[in-house]
DNA sequence: CACGATTGGTTGAATCTTCAACATGTGCTC
DNA sequence: GAGCACATGTTGAAGATTCAACCAATCGTG
C-alpha cells in the first residue's frame, strides 16, 4: 500500500511538473483519445476514469478553460453532454504520454519481475470484480 | 491501477462513514500507536505516513481539535514538536481498526491468491526501493 | 397524457491538499 | 562568537475534491 501511494504521488508530480496535468486530467484525456470520434458522454467518462460526476464536471471545466476539451450537447438525449477532445488536447496528451510511459516503465515495470506483474494484474482484476459485486 | 484506485476510495469511504476518519488520519493514528510512548516527532510521522509536512501539520491540527492527538515540545531540540496519541485517540483507533481490517480482508486479502499477494509485496517493495534511490 | 421516480449533469459551500513564504533553532566554519 | 547554510514546523492563500442540493429531461405506469 505504501509503495503504491508513493508511486502514484511520484507519477502525479512528474506529470504536473513537466506538463501541467494532474493524473486525473491525464486519465480523462486518455479515455477521450481512445473513444470513437474522441468524445464521450460525461457519465461514461466518469465511469471509465473512476471519478465522481461532480469531480469530472469541475475537472472538465478546467480542461475546457485550458482549451484541451470542449463540451457539446447530445442530439438524442437533451440532458446529455458530450466531452470532446480538441486537437490541442490530443497534442498535449501525446507529449505527456511519451514522458509518462517512460516514467512508469522506469519506476514500475522495470523493477518488477514479469511474473509478479502478471500476479498484480490478476489480483486487482479480482479486487475490481469484488467491488463491482458489492456495488 | 484502476483496481487500486477503486480499492483505496472504497476503504476511505468506509472509514469515513463509520468512524469519521480519513485514511490519512487513520494512518497517523496507527503510526503513533505503534511508536514507543505513542509519540513521534512531526518529521518522522510525516515520513512514516508519507505525507508532506505541511499536510501533516494541518491534519494534526484537525486531529488535535477532535481530541485524538496533542502536540508538545521536544526538550532536546527546541525546534522539534512531538505528536502524542491521547487515550481517546487510541480508543478511536481501536474501534476503527476492527472494522477496517475486516473490510481490507473482505475486499483485498480474501479475493486474492496467497501467492499473488506475496508477489504484490515483492513488487511494491521493489518500487519503494527504486523511488528511494531516485530521491 | 399525467404523474412520480430515475437519470444526467451542474453548482456552491465546506473540506482537504499543495505551494510558497515565513519564523525559529541547530550546526558548521572561519 | 558571528555569519551562513540547513532543518523543523507552521501559516495562509490558492487549487482540488467531496457533499448535498438543485434543474432539466426521460422513463414507466396507471
Side by side, the strands of the sheet bearing B69-73 are B39-41, B81-85, B69-73
pLDDT of res. A132: 86
For A110, name the nearest residue in chain B, comparing CA atoms only. B127
Residues 35-54/B with CB within 7 Å of nucleic chain C are 51-52, 54
Using the beta-carbon criterion (under 8 Å), do A107 and B127 form an inter-chain contact?
yes
pLDDT confidence of residue A53: 97
pLDDT band at B2 (very low <50, low <70, confident <90, very high): confident
Mean pLDDT, range B24-40, rounded to an integer: 96
Measured to protein CB atoms, the chain C nucleotides within 7 Å are 7-12, 16-21, 24-26
Looking at residue B134, its pLDDT comes to: 80
CA distances to A36, A61, B23, B78 from B43, rounded to whole Å, are 49, 37, 19, 14
pLDDT reported for residue B45: 97
**What global pTM score does this model have?**
0.91
In this complex, which residue's CA is closest to the C1' atom of nucleotide C7?
Answer: A79
Interchain pair B112, A128: CB under 8 A = no
How buried is residue B104: exposed, middle or buried, by Cβ count under 10 Å (0-12/13-18/19+)?
middle
- Averaged pLDDT score across all residues of chain B: 95
Report d(CA A120, CA A114) in Å as an integer.
10
**Residue B11: count of CB within 10 angstroms of its CB:** 18
**C-alpha cell at position A107:** 519506476
Percent of chain B's residues with pLDDT above 70: 99
Give me the pLDDT at residue A1, please. Answer: 83
| pLDDT value at B132 more than 90 | no
Q: How confident is the model at residue B1 (pLDDT cuts 50, 70, 90)?
A: confident
For B85-129, write each residue's pLDDT tens digit: 999 999 999 999 999 999 999 999 999 999 999 999 999 999 999
Residue numbers in A 102-131, CB below 7 Å of strand D: none
**What is d(CA A101, CA A94) in angstroms, rounded to the nearest whole number?**
11
CA of A76 to nearest chain B CA: how many angstroms apart? Answer: 31
DSSP annotation string for B73-123? E-SS-TT-EEEEE-HHHHHHHHHHHHHHHHHHHHHTGGGS-HHHHHHHHHH
Tell which residue, A83, A90, A91, has the closest CA to residue A62: A83
**Separation of alpha carbons B99 and B118, rounded Å:** 24
Contact status, residue A86 vs residue A76, Cβ threshold 8 Å: no
pLDDT band at B135 (very low <50, low <70, confident <90, very high): low
What is the structure's pLDDT at B113? Answer: 96
The low-confidence residues of chain A, meaning pLDDT below 70, are 135
A22 touches strand D (CB under 7 A): yes
Q: What is the pLDDT of residues B65-94, one digit of tens each?
A: 999 999 999 988 999 999 999 999 999 999
Q: What is the mean pLDDT of residues B39-51?
A: 95
Give pLDDT, residue A105.
96
User: Which of A96, A122, A105 has the alpha carbon at shortest distance from A21?
Assistant: A96
Q: What angle do CA A85, A86, A90 make, to 5 degrees?
A: 75
Chain A residues in contact with B5 by the CB 8 A cut-off are: 50
Q: Do A131 and B6 touch (CB under 8 A)?
A: yes
Tell me, what's the pLDDT at A135?
64
Amino acid at each position: 500500500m505504501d509503495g503504491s501511494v508513493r508511486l502514484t504521488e511520484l507519477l502525479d508530480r512528474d506529470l504536473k511538473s513537466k506538463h501541467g496535468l494532474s493524473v486525473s486530467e491525464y486519465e480523462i484525456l486518455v479515455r477521450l483519445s481512445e473513444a470513437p470520434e474522441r468524445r464521450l458522454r460525461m457519465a461514461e467518462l466518469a465511469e471509465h476514469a473512476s471519478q465522481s460526476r461532480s469531480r469530472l464536471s469541475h475537472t472538465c471545466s478546467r480542461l475546457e478553460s485550458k482549451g484541451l476539451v470542449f463540451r457539446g450537447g447530445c442530439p438524442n438525449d437533451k440532458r446529455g453532454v458530450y466531452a470532446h477532445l480538441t486537437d490541442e488536447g490530443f497534442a498535449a496528451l501525446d507529449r505527456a504520454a511519451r514522458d509518462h510511459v517512460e516514467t512508469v516503465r522506469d519506476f514500475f515495470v522495470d523493477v518488477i519481475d514479469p511474473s509478479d506483474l502478471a500476479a498484480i494484474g490478476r489480483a486487482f482484476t479480482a479486487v475490481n470484480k469484488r467491488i463491482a459485486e458489492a456495488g
